[in-house]
Structure 1
Amino acid sequence: MLKPNFTFRCRDVAKTAEWYSSLLGFSMIKRPASFDFDGAWLYGYGVGLHLIAGHPPHASRDVINPKADHLSFACECGLEEVEALLKYRNIEYKKAHVEEGGILVTQVL
């Protein structure tokens, strides 16, 4: 059985790893010491997440771009709970709405 891993470049590996672990529940796992570049490995929800130091391509903090590299999650709680947690943690975010066939999906970045 294959287990998916996703790799993302990020400006601050430690801050990004903290965000994925404390906010989304990912766990830090051992990363090969032979890698000679800054990075971190995390695991959660059956997914491996590999973070690498560097400027993320095609990403913007100003708008949600569905064509940019990303990892998304569907939440079982309400949007209000997600927004309350983000506000509590002083995390800036953007919202976008996508409607298809009468179904409204709200995206948060």
Structure 2
Amino acid sequence: MAIMEIEEEEVMGSCRALPLLSLNHVSLVVKSVRTSVRFYVDVLGFVVVKRPSSLDFLGAWLYNYGIGIHFLEKESIDYQYQTSIESRPINPKDNHISFQCTDVNLVKRRLKDMGMKYVTAVVEDEGIKVDQVFFHDPDGYMIEICNCENLPVLPISTACQFKPNFSSKNNYEKMGGMSKCGLVLETIMMESLTMEMINFSF
């Protein structure tokens, strides 16, 4: 089996990318907003939040862990598999949303207690292991729960440095923006930590 490796020379990184701050939300088309809301609240711990009044279609907005999940209801969804969602194979190589957790074993115990089917996988690199748990939501969208932060994030391309995870444009502007892409990652992290400490002290 061939394994694709992306070399640094192949990555055409540029500091002229769009001025993004962070992931805001994931939007999913679902058969039943009520069923999906119940699952994401009861199983994943999301909280239902107010939607803008101009949205005149059936849906729901949820929020937690720094990201939003938006549901749009559509009765007829074309699934890849014609059989019931419960019998659809859980494939870790399929599209999925991943959440970091504090205790993978606890996740597995709770899923088992709820009678939910799941599969596990382990990713390893240079002695560091990441445990993964995969399962489906009511519409067959796959969820991954992992301790992925065990693996350091090491950029292949050095064309542009990482940006800190800003929760808002205001926080971004407080730190003077990112006018120069050549800032070292350590400096960015220290500035972000300093701002968090200042915010916490007030």
Q: Is the TM-score greater than 0.5? A: yes
The structure 2 residue matched to 1:71, chosen from 97, 111, 115, is 97
TM (norm. structure 2) is 0.44
Q: Alignment partner of 1:86: what SS?
A: helix
1:51 aligned residue: 71
TM (norm. structure 1) is 0.74
Structure 1 residue 2, shift from structure 2 partner? 5.9
Q: Tell me, yes or no, if the aligned pair for 1:41 and 1:50 is still in contact at 8 Å.
A: yes
Q: Tell me, yes or no, if the aligned pair for 1:40 and 1:50 is still in contact at 8 Å.
A: yes
2:171 aligned residue: none
The structure 1 residue matched to 2:40, chosen from 20, 25, 33, is 20
1:9 aligned residue: 29
Which is helix-richer, 1 or 2?
A: 2
Unaligned ranges ≥5, structure 2:
1-20, 135-202
Unaligned ranges ≥5, structure 1:
none
Partners of 1:56 and 1:8 in 2: CA distance: 13
Q: Percent identity?
A: 35
**1:84 equivalenced with 2:109 (yes/no):** yes
Partners of 2:130 and 2:80 in 1: CA distance: 22
What is the RMSD of the two structures over their aligned residues, measured on CA atoms? 2.8
Which is strand-richer, 1 or 2?
A: 1
Alpha-carbon displacement from aligned partner over 1:20-78 (angstroms, at most 9, x marks no partner): 11122111112235434432110111211102235487899421125x1x32111112x
